[in-house]
Every structure is written in C-alpha cells, then in structure tokens.
Amino acid sequence: MRIARRLAGFLRLLRPKNAVMAAIGPIVGWTTVRADVSRDLLLAAIVPPLVLMAGNAVNDYFDVEIDRINKPWRPIPSGVVSRAEAILTYASLSLTATAIAFLQGLALGLMAAAFSAAYLLYAARVKATGLPGNLLVSLGVACTLLYGALAAGDLPVKVILFSLIAFTSNTARELVKGVEDLPGDSALGLKTFPIAAGVEATRRVIIGLTLTTIALTAAPIAMGLTGKIYAVGSTVAGAILLEAARRSVGIAPESAGAVSGILKSAMMLGLVSMLLDNLVVL
C-alpha cells in the first residue's frame, strides 16, 4: 500500500499527463519537415517531456509553502515525497534529457540544457516576478515544436506559426492559473501578474491572448500550409477558446480551474490536429 502511495506521489510530482503535450510538440515539428520514422524522431520526442517533468519536480520543490495553502494534497506538502527526492528527480531527468539532446547535435543539446536551467531559475526566482515567468514557461512549450523541426533539419514557417499558437494559448493559461493561485500567492507576498496588475487587468489580457490565438490558428489555413484535418480541428478548438474567453469575463480564483481545463482541452485538440494534418492527406 505504501509503495503504491509513493508511486502515485511521484506521478503527481512529475505530472506525466502534461508531458504528453510536450511529446506531441516535437513530433509535430518533425513531421512538418519529414515523413520518416527514425531513432532521431524518438529521441526528439523524449527530450522535451523529460525537461518538462524535471521542471515540474523542481517547481514543487520551491513551491512547498504555496502548495501548503493552495494545494495541500500535492506530494511534498502531503508528505508523500520529500524535498530532497524532488530536487534529485529534477537533476536526474535534466541530465538525462540534456545527454540525449547532445546525441542529436550541439544546438539541440544546448537548447535542452538552457531550458533545464531556465526551469530551475523560474522556480527559484522568476516565477515570483509575474509575467516574465509566465512568458518563460510558454516559450518552453512553444519551443517543443521548434525542437522537433530542428531535429529534422529545418525550420519552416508552418512550424513557427504553430509555435506562436502554442505560445499565446499557453500564456493565457498561465495567467488563468495565476488567478487560481491568488490566495496562496498573496499570502506569501509574491508579485504574480494578477497580484501586481489586478484581476480585472488580468481578465483583459487573458481574453486578448485567447482571441489572438484564435486569429493565429487561421493563419496557416489562409497561407495554404495546412489541409482539411487542421481546418476542422482548429475550428473546433477555436470554438472551445471562445468559450474560455467568455468564461474569463468573470474569472475569479474559484472559477479559474475550470477555465484552465477548457484552455488545456483546446490546446490538446490543436496539437493533435496539427499532427494528424501532417500525417494524413485529405
């Protein structure tokens, strides 16, 4: 029973469900450039999830006091995982990801090392500064697609557009999560964007970013870079994003979790649509 509880605790620490999106991103980037399946594709799909899960572990290491207020069920405040185990997990996953990336080339290795270090810096310092931390996390999400394309040997406009969509949608979600965490963040004196700018200003930015994402999803279609699958998938994702924008009008800590879930659903649908559009010709 104790082993099962510990295993469940480490899974909550790493949040592998979120890592699925980090694995799809590089596959989208790769398949935009090339159609072959190779060892390098597998390696490219492994590195970003490892970096992300390492970032999740180190984030929980530094967020223990916040989580005691906002999320006392998290593995560290609940006592299932120790802080020492969390930082060791971060180091192990980061080193593994960086080593794999260097096998694919110097630029990819440096990218993995940079984001591994950036997630540590984010958790320790940057997160408390508000918007810069949100932008750093979103840059990491966007770069999963760039990583896959670079591993495949090119960086086409289509991947850059897809990365911009990932960046704006994830930034909106980061701000939503900032609203959700307001009670604990305020108690600890953090300067997150919702605290520094106010909830009303945060609502406007969230809505603006969400609507910008909807507009960006139309760009690859208008430029003739995508097919029917992406057109259908992005249209449905756009409808979901509109619902997220509507709900953000009155967003508060109590309702932010639902909005975050809606945004995550739209992001996942968008990624899957990008991938299937690359793989299936209709």
> What would the 3-class secondary structure string for 5-27 be?
HHHHHHHHHHCHHHHHHHHHHHH
104 token code pair: 């694919």
Low-confidence spans in the chain with pLDDT less than 70: 1, 281-282
Contact 43, 160 (CB under 8 A): no
What is the model's pTM? 0.90
Domains of the chain as residue ranges with CATH: 1-127 (1.10.357), 156-282 (1.20.120.1780)
- Residues sharing a CB contact under 8 Å with residue 128, sequence separation 6 or more, in sequence order: 190, 191, 192
Give the C-alpha separation, 220 to 153, whole Å.
21
pLDDT of res. 1: 56
151-166 burial, b for 16+ CB within 10 Å, e for fewer?
A: bbeebeebbebbbbbb
CA distances from 47 to 19, 21, 115, 195, 213 (A): 10, 12, 11, 34, 26
Kindly report, residue by residue over 107-133, the tens digit of the pLDDT: 999 999 999 999 999 999 888 788 899
- Residues sharing a CB contact under 8 Å with residue 132, sequence separation 6 or more, in sequence order: 126
Kindly report, residue by residue over 53-106, the tens digit of the pLDDT: 999 999 999 988 878 887 888 899 988 999 999 999 999 999 999 999 999 999
264 token code pair: 């995550």
pLDDT of res. 282: 59
Give the C-alpha separation, 32 to 35, whole Å.
8
Q: How many CB atoms lie within 10 A of CB 218?
A: 13
